[in-house]
Chain A
Amino acid sequence: MPSYDSVNYSLRPAKNIERKMFCEAFRKLSEFGSLDSYRYIGFGSPFFSDFSLFHKSLNITNAISIEEELGDEARFIFNRPYACIELIMGTSNDILPTLQWNLRTILWLDYDSPLDQSILSDVATICSNIFPGSFLIITVDAKPGKYGSRLESIKERIGEEKLPEGLSEARLSDWDTAKTYKRIISNEIAQTLNYRNGARPEGTRIVFKQIFNFHYADGAEMLTLGGILHEEGQKNIVAKCGFKDLDFFRDGEEPYEIVIPKLTLKEIRHINRQLPCPDLSQVSSPAIEPSVIASYAKIYRYFPNFVDAEIG
């Protein structure tokens, strides 16, 4: 059952925050070309929240939403928020190889499911064809699953060949599954680019610069891995983009954790009045732990309030 039947995306706070963080990062792509020249590809679901945000904030008008529930086409068309979104029904496996790839694209493939071969297949298709200056983001469900069946399950979904060495039930517990997935996806990207680049002269070879490595839990542990694909010779442009200045920039194994602290609206307003503040020990709210203040301060600018998410 697709997850949009059970979860109302636009109310998921961690995803909401993630989306806004992406928007801030995408603005920095203007060094490559104005944002409105970019194409956006995603899995809209009937809510199309990502499409709405990116169109409104970045003026992206070339957008494709891929939906696999063939019988629900009428529902998606009905809910499409803007005319500039093209809806293509089918699986990403089938559709990605048929698209034109001769323009800079932002792809956010937000899969409802744990990492499997078909997701890696999409990653390979994208990396084989994507235009330099493009941004790729993959989100997968990173729940570890029941102890005792984790290794079996991951072997079946991904195949032994692609698994890192030394995996075991314990090594897949908690957030280690997310870390393992990150390594597998990174390998798939690197391997595909390696093949693609083989016969190309230096300077035009395509590399992946990781920008996002998010761990967040919105009811289920999720991993988001994202970055920019560019020609080696474009290193200067990427540096100019200044992704490093983003607080949530992570280009290595260490993840950025999005933790939503449970605070009342009154508490949020109270803490907001004290932010920004260089020394968080000065910020307080009655009976709220400093660690909670710290978690909130990390993401306060992106924090949704529910009125904003529904109407704004």
Chain B
Amino acid sequence: METITNNASRIIDATPTKDFFIEMLIKDIELSRVIIDLVDNCIDGANRYRGRESYDGLWIRIEAGPDQFRIIDNCGGISIDLAKKYAFRFGRPTKMIMTERSIGQFGIGMKRALFKLGSKFIIESTTKTSRFKVDVDVNEWKKDDIWEFHFSELETLSEPPDQCGTTITVEPLHDNVSKDFELSFFLNRLRFEIRQAHQQMIENQIAISLNGIPVTSDPNTFLSSTKIQTGYYEDTFTQEMGSVNVRVYAGISESSPSKTGWYIYCNGRMVLGADQSSTTGWGAGGQTTIPKYHNQYARFRGLVFFDSDNARLLPWNTTKTGVDSDSLLYRSVKLKMITLMKPIMTFLNRVKDETEFKSDDHPLLDAIETARSRPLSKTQTSTTFKSPTPGQRPKRKPKGSISYTKPLEDINKIKKLLNVKSHKKVGEETFDYFFEKECKE
């Protein structure tokens, strides 16, 4: 037997194949989500460009058709430095300076989207001082093991251009993507998701359009008055790596089962919308603290905003489609969400009672009637949800119902004797008759 001493032949190749890598990257994430990731990147660009002040004048245009996908923005563009070292890396190198309040933070959004959409892509970007173009044929790129891209065009500008922004074009598209872009069902769904995810940004004036039609905002509003006030909690959690500002609002709005629930935003990007699950506290304490969702709670609205300069501290999951329920920060804030939510459940139960009881005294329904729908910035808040005292109700004896069948002939005989017209009356009066005679103490 001969021991192999040559070091080179002791090496086992473990480099990933591009095929495998791409397959893993695009697996398990929906097409609409990757498109929203691209929008996220535009928003981050806008933040770098304008520093979170008004986004007035900035726009993002998405064109999705069976032959081509395109996203164009005027949000400032990607610098050559950013492009060379970070924008095309898979993952985020530690040395990169984080965009303040960034949304794209895992370093895979753009690449994942491009591979998911099609087999050829072109990225053109112009900043105040530079311009570049990257042109990639994925099938050709896959043929070797070199993990690099090349600028097909690259120049510094002597004068700032009219417009600074980025255009991403993907063509041809994968078959399944092409088919989806033909479906109005898919496009409507996409529009809805963009609106939800970027509700805050749209309200701040950034103009997003899909296939020429603007994505309009549909902000959450609260019913507000002196008698009905939204519960509000605010705190800052400071840790070694930075601090996170948290704001929680809990109140009532119009009755809408599809809109009701908790909305959670991280750096202005919605990650959970109209949530009615245990993730946000429904059913807590075996339903003694908070009940499971029923339609009688369809007026409830809860909003949580997590904001931080260090996006890594925020409790979102990697696809930005939900919260990381193991996040220590989230678990702590969830306790506050439950505390704020509880009085609203109590209130809505009482409203249901008032509706069913139909007495002349209905202060809760009156208060709802007179309260006005207000956007978040204008709603009246208090440390706990405020509502009027319910009306006085006499002690109600719990009731049960009895039902049984008897020969029609017999029922009609009794009807005649009692001089009543309905089966219900027969039941009630025969019951009372027996009770009077046999049960009175």
Contact B339 A198 (CB under 8 A): no
CA–CA, A121 and B291, complex, Å: 12
Give 24 CB contacts A-B under 8 Å: A70-B393, A94-B343, A97-B338, A97-B340, A97-B342, A97-B343, A97-B384, A98-B384, A100-B383, A117-B287, A117-B288, A118-B285, A121-B288, A124-B285, A124-B338, A125-B289, A128-B339, A129-B335, A159-B286, A195-B335, A196-B335, A198-B329, A199-B333, A201-B239
Contact B328 A128 (CB under 8 A): no
Residues of the B chain whose Cβ atoms lie less than 8 Å from the Cβ of A100: 383-384
Contact A197 B332 (CB under 8 A): yes
- Which one of B284, B286, B340, B395 lies within 8 Å of A71 (CB-CB)? B395
Question: Chain B: interface residue count, which band?
Answer: 20 to 34
Contact B332 A120 (CB under 8 A): no
Contact A201 B238 (CB under 8 A): yes
CB contact list, A150-207 vs B, under 8 A: 159, 192, 195-201
CA–CA, A121 and B332, complex, Å: 16
Contact A198 B331 (CB under 8 A): yes
Question: B344's closest neighbor in chain A, by CB?
Answer: A97
Question: Chain A: interface residue count, which band?
Answer: 20 to 34
B34 → chain A closest CB, angstroms: 31
Residues of the B chain whose Cβ atoms lie less than 8 Å from the Cβ of A113: none
Contact A120 B285 (CB under 8 A): yes
- Which one of A71, A118, A196 lies within 8 Å of B288 (CB-CB)? A118
Tell me if A57 counts as interface (CB < 8 A to partner B): no
Candidate in B285, B331, B338, B385 with the most chain A CB atoms within 10 angstroms:
B285
Tell me if B334 counts as interface (CB < 8 A to partner A): yes
Candidate in A159, A196, A198, A199 with the most chain B CB atoms within 10 angstroms:
A199
CA–CA, A209 and B98, complex, Å: 42
Residues of the A chain whose Cβ atoms lie less than 8 Å from the Cβ of B244: 199
Question: A118's closest neighbor in chain B, by CB?
Answer: B288
Contact B336 A128 (CB under 8 A): yes
- Which one of B237, B286, B335, B393 lies within 8 Å of A117 (CB-CB)? B286
CA–CA, A307 and B45, complex, Å: 80
Question: A192's closest neighbor in chain B, by CB?
Answer: B335
Tell me if B346 counts as interface (CB < 8 A to partner A): yes
Other than the known A195-B332, A195-B335, what 13 A-B pairs have Cβ atoms closer than 8 Å?
A71-B395, A93-B289, A93-B342, A94-B346, A97-B339, A97-B343, A99-B384, A100-B384, A118-B285, A120-B288, A125-B339, A200-B237, A200-B332
CA–CA, A192 and B332, complex, Å: 9
Residues of the B chain whose Cβ atoms lie less than 8 Å from the Cβ of A125: 289, 338-339, 342
CA–CA, A165 and B424, complex, Å: 52
CB contact list, A98-127 vs B, under 8 A: 98-100, 116-118, 120-121, 124-125
Question: B285's closest neighbor in chain A, by CB?
Answer: A121
B102 → chain A closest CB, angstroms: 20
Residues of the A chain whose Cβ atoms lie less than 8 Å from the Cβ of B394: 71
Binary B-proximity of A69-104 (CB < 8 A = 1, otherwise 0): 011000000000000000000000110011110000
Question: B350's closest neighbor in chain A, by CB?
Answer: A94
A293 → chain B closest CB, angstroms: 46
A-B complex: 9 closest residue pairs judged by Cβ atoms = A198-B328, A128-B335, A121-B285, A97-B342, A199-B329, A121-B289, A117-B288, A71-B395, A195-B331
CA–CA, A71 and B328, complex, Å: 43
A88 → chain B closest CB, angstroms: 11
Question: B386's closest neighbor in chain A, by CB?
Answer: A98
Residues of the A chain whose Cβ atoms lie less than 8 Å from the Cβ of B393: 70
CA–CA, A97 and B340, complex, Å: 7
CB contact list, B377-406 vs A, under 8 A: 383-385, 393-395
CA–CA, A93 and B239, complex, Å: 33
Question: A93's closest neighbor in chain B, by CB?
Answer: B288
A39 → chain B closest CB, angstroms: 15
Residues of the B chain whose Cβ atoms lie less than 8 Å from the Cβ of A128: 335-336, 338-339
